[in-house]
């Protein structure tokens, strides 16, 4: 099955700096890569996603890049703000046992220091 590795596990940045979280996946057939933000006491929230036929996608201060050859994708947050502090999960959707299945990375705890 699919294996998603995510790093770093924790990340501290100064407010206004950029943050980058990287993930690799193992199944070359994976075709959809969402990113989720989970704040304390809440469920994960989809913040951006990218499909395998696209190399980069941007939404205001958030961007995701995908390198299919290397099987890695990254989340970039620019001009970080304290409210960006949360746990971020990358995920990959692959085909397993007749069904599409989403596999999550281990998560990155981002702390933005004011």
Partner 1 sequence: DTEVTQTPKHLVMGMTNKKSLKCEQHMGHRAMYWYKQKAKKPPELMFVYSYEKLSINESVPSRFSPECPNSSLLNLHLHALQPEDSALYLCASSQDKSGGGGYTFGSGTRLTVV
Q: Give the footprint of partner 1 on this chain (CB under 8 A).
A: 32, 34, 36, 41-46, 49, 89, 93, 97, 99-102, 104-107
Which residues are bridge partners to 102 per DSSP?
93
As a three-state string, the secondary structure of 41-69 is: CCCCEEEEEEECCCCEEEECCEEEEEECC
Q: Which is nearer to partner 1, 48 or 77 (CB)?
A: 48
* The two three-digit tokens of residue 16, written as one number: 């206004």
Q: How far is the CB of 14 from partner 1 (least distance, A)?
A: 24
Q: How far is the CB of 109 from partner 1 (least distance, A)?
A: 8
Q: Which is nearer to partner 1, 40 or 114 (CB)?
A: 40
Q: Which is nearer to partner 1, 6 or 18 (CB)?
A: 6
Q: Which is nearer to partner 1, 35 or 77 (CB)?
A: 35
CB hemisphere CA count around 32 (13 angstroms):
10
Buried b (16+ CB within 10 A) or exposed e, 69-102: eeebbbbbbeebeeebbbbbbbbbbbeeeeeeeb
Q: How far is the CB of 92 from partner 1 (least distance, A)?
A: 11
Q: How far is the CB of 16 from partner 1 (least distance, A)?
A: 27
């Amino acid at each position: 099955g699919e294996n998603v590795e995510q790093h770093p596990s924790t990340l501290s940045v100064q407010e206004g700096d950029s943050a980058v979280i990287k993930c690799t996946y193992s199944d070359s057939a994976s075709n959809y890569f969402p990113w989720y933000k989970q704040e304390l006491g809440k469920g994960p929230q989809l913040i951006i996603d990218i499909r395998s036929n696209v190399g980069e996608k941007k939404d205001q201060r958030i961007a995701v890049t995908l390198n299919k050859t290397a099987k890695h994708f990254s989340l970039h947050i620019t001009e970080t703000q304290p409210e960006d502090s949360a746990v971020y999960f990358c995920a990959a959707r692959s085909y397993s046992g007749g069904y599409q299945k989403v596999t999550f990375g281990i998560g990155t705890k981002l702390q933005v220091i004011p």
